[in-house]
Amino acid sequence: MSSSATTPGTTPTTPSGTAREDTSRRLPEARVYLLGLVLFVGMIGALEVYWRGRAFEPNVPDSPDLWAYHWSRVVGNDPNLIVAIGTSRIRTAVRPDVIQERLPSQRLIQLGVNGPSGSLGLLAEISRIPHFRGLVLCDLLPPLMAPEQGREQVAMARRPNTTAHTLNTYLRSLLCDRLVVLNSALSVRNWFAQRDSFRPESVGPRLRVHADRTLEISYPTDEALKTIRENRFRDYAGRYSKARRYKNMDEFREAIRDVADSVARIKQNGGKVVFLRLPAAGARLQLEEATYPSALYFGVLAETTSAPWIDFRELSHEDDLDCPDESHLSADSAPVFTSRLVERLRRGSLLGQ
């Protein structure tokens, strides 16, 4: 008998038959995965519509890792870099989208840090980056010029980080910048506790952070704004009462001698530094000017460092720059301020080529 014969009652198995069975087995699995994906996307879309209908917005968690990612982008041999350093004021006042629109070849890196933290230590760190040729916009107030005021930002710059970790943080921030469902304020606990009353105003002032670290601050009601303004002013006045006082301007010149060295190193590399006196209003502005007059202190700073300074009042047209809380520009005024700042930098030939 031939070896190819088959046993009666059995069906021969062929390679093509096996392929058909494998294909038919895989098709239902693919349909299940596709259906699961469609349901997931639909659920996310429904949640997006729900939360946006309640006036919530996307928000990026501001973290040292996100700051570290942007700090890693400050490199040498790039004359098109614009690096913004300082406090939350520079985060609300200088808009990367306006810079991109008005100066397509330039890149703004936002390194402002919330709170009473000085930026002169970070300026020194930038001055040590080999061949740094960009422009540094340095938000500054006299009480934050003392060396001890800059330690926080120096520690952030020297904090060990891995490229992969900070990049992952940035990629997550891009998602958070677009999806409301990733807003950390939308916790299940908050929703169950407040249900129908759970709206943006129920979670306090809105500090909206973007992936590029732009900061927008808004207040739900005029009463909330008034209360926050008063509380912040009391805290700020207390800090000013304890701030370092200089016996005379010679003592102040000596105190900022290291700043002159930092500016000189940046200039030697082909970079530039511009000091900014950023917008303030009302009682906050009166306190700042009464204690440390800008014309006097920034004038001496410019003379000692040979770096220009720009006063926000130079860019204001009949006080049209709105600071609702007296120390941060509104989201509507920030693009106006940034646009005028760009023109001022152009007139002063302060932009990289």
DSSP string spanning 140-207?
A: --GGG-SGGGGHHHHHHHHS---HHHHHHHHHHHHHHTT-GGG-TT--HHHHHHHGGG-SGGGG-SEE
Q: What is the Cα–Cα distance from 75 to 77, expressed in whole angstroms?
A: 7
DSSP string, 300-334: HHHHHHT--EEEGGGS-SSS----TTSSS--TTHH
Q: What is the Cα–Cα distance from 112 to 97, expressed in whole angstroms?
A: 16
Residue 16 pLDDT: 53
Q: What is the Cα–Cα distance from 238 to 261, expressed in whole angstroms?
A: 32
Asked if the model's pLDDT at residue 347 lies above 50, the reply is yes
Asked if the model's pLDDT at residue 303 lies above 90, the reply is yes
Please give the structure tokens belonging to residue 163.
């490229």
Residue 25 pLDDT: 54
Q: What is the Cα–Cα distance from 87 to 142, expressed in whole angstroms?
A: 13
Whether 68 is covered by a domain: the verdict is yes
Average pLDDT of span 243-272:
93
Whether 13 is covered by a domain: the verdict is no
Residue 197 pLDDT: 52
CATH, residue 74: 3.40.50.1110
Taking only the tens place, the pLDDT of each residue in 180-223 is: 877 776 655 555 545 555 555 545 557 899 999 999 998 878 88
Residue 23 pLDDT: 53
Residue 4 pLDDT: 47
Among 68, 63, 46, 61, smallest CA distance to 176 is for 61
Average pLDDT, the chain: 85
Asked if the model's pLDDT at residue 241 lies above 80, the reply is yes
Per cent of the chain over pLDDT 70 is 82
Classify residue 1 by burial, with Cβ atoms within 10 Å: 0-12, 13-18, 19+: exposed
Asked if the model's pLDDT at residue 353 lies above 60, the reply is no
Backbone angles phi, psi at 321, to 5 degrees: -95, 115
Asked if the model's pLDDT at residue 2 lies above 50, the reply is no
Asked if the model's pLDDT at residue 50 lies above 50, the reply is yes
Long-range (24+ apart) CB contacts under 8 A made by 220-224 are none
Higher pLDDT, 298 or 150: 298
Q: How many domains does the chain have?
A: 1
Which strands, in side-by-side order, build the sheet including 309-311?
107-110, 81-85, 135-139, 272-277, 309-311
Range with the poorest average pLDDT among 33-47, 48-62, 270-284: 33-47
Whether 12 is covered by a domain: the verdict is no
Whether 29 is covered by a domain: the verdict is no
Q: What is the Cα–Cα distance from 151 to 174, expressed in whole angstroms?
A: 29
Asked if the model's pLDDT at residue 18 lies above 90, the reply is no
Please give the structure tokens belonging to residue 331.
């989201």
Average pLDDT of span 249-259:
93
Domain encompassing residue 311: 64-347
Whether 240 is covered by a domain: the verdict is yes
Whether 99 is covered by a domain: the verdict is yes
Backbone angles phi, psi at 328, to 5 degrees: -135, 135
Asked if the model's pLDDT at residue 51 lies above 90, the reply is no
Q: What is the Cα–Cα distance from 38 to 347, expressed in whole angstroms?
A: 54
Average pLDDT of span 116-132:
94
Give the pLDDT band (50/70/90) at residue 20. low
Residue 52 pLDDT: 65
